[in-house]
Amino acid sequence: MIQIENLQKEFTIHHLNKTLHAVRDISFTVEKGSFLGIVGKSGSGKSTILKSIYGTYIPKSGAIYYDSETLGKINLVTASPREILHLRKYEIGYVSQFLSVMPRTTALELVEQALLETGVSYEKAHEEAIDTLKHFDLDESLWNNYPNYFSGGEKLRLNIARAVVKKPRLLLLDEPTASLDNASKLKVRESIEKLKHQGTTLIGIFHDLEFMDGLCDEVFTMRKAVVNAYEA
């Protein structure tokens, strides 16, 4: 599903005249329907890999081949912004630790909109949004409120709900359980298991190794901007 070949990412900070090496010579493959966990210290380049797959970062060199349902095999490093937008809309989801929303958009609208942009009817979007919010135990009294007032955990659950509701083919998880309590983590875990069962391919970064246990099919450990260890 995803094949990364010799990926390198550098950040050139012009005003400091400095180049930071975030990721050097990374290669790995993720099979369809499997879950790859990436672990490593802060600054080791874990998020850089996910953001390079999602198109937020422009790699310096290397290739990221993705088997798209609609575009065929495509190199995400050289794909056009319009192709990336298409994949984000229909195939690839991303969950970060942070929730960015339109002002004055309620939690329910936020999840509905994720589906509406893919062309489903309002009725279906509404129904599925409610099911997903219920699944993540987001209190019904919050559905019609603005997420700006939510706690960190509530925001995170809403963020995951927004990505999961679209049933993406590939889901990228950037520390989605960082500030969740155990009950919420369990919900996320259930949801991930369900997505895996439906055939979604997942790549996730977690600090919580216990959470990953039994969930990931493969684990990469990263150190100093290089994949140093590989466990299967």
Partner 1 sequence: MHVEQPILQIKNLSKQYGAGCSNCLQPNARLEKNFCPVCKTVFACKDVSIDLYRGEILGIVGESGSGKSTLMKSLYFDEEVTSGEGYLEDFHNGSLNIFTQSGQQKRYIRNALLGMVYQNPMLGLKMSFSSISNIAEKQIAAGSRHVGNMVNRSNELLNQVNIPLKRSKEPPKNFSGGMQQRVQIAKALSSNPPILLLDEVTTGLDLSVQASVLDLIKTIQRELQISMIVVSHDLAVIRMLADRTIVMLNGQIIEQGLTDQILEDPQHAYTQQLVYSLL
Applying CB under 8 A, among 33, 65, 67, 84 the residue interacting with partner 1 is 84
55 is a contact residue toward partner 1 (CB under 8 A): yes
> What type of residue sits at position 113?
Q
Of residues 106 and 221, the one with the C-beta less far from partner 1 = 106
Applying CB under 8 A, among 13, 141, 149, 183 the residue interacting with partner 1 is 13
Rounded Cα distance, 163 and 175, in Å: 14
Applying CB under 8 A, among 20, 58, 209, 229 the residue interacting with partner 1 is 58
In sequence order, what are the residues at sequence separation of 6 or more whose Cβ sits closer than 8 angstroms to the Cβ of residue 132? 111, 161, 164, 165
Applying CB under 8 A, among 19, 27, 56, 144 the residue interacting with partner 1 is 56
Question: For 225, left (φ over 0), alpha (ψ -120 to 50), or beta?
Answer: left
Rounded Cα distance, 153 and 138, in Å: 10
Rounded Cα distance, 53 and 73, in Å: 14
The secondary structure of residue 58, as a DSSP letter, is -
Applying CB under 8 A, among 5, 83, 127, 218 the residue interacting with partner 1 is 83
Of residues 15 and 197, the one with the C-beta less far from partner 1 = 15
> What type of residue sits at position 128?
E
Site stretch for partner 1 (CB under 8 A), options 51-59, 157-165, 186-194, 197-205: 51-59
Segment 135 to 194, residues that bind partner 1, using CB under 8 A: none
Binding site for partner 1 (CB under 8 A): 11-15, 51, 55-58, 70-71, 81-86, 100, 102-105, 113, 116-117
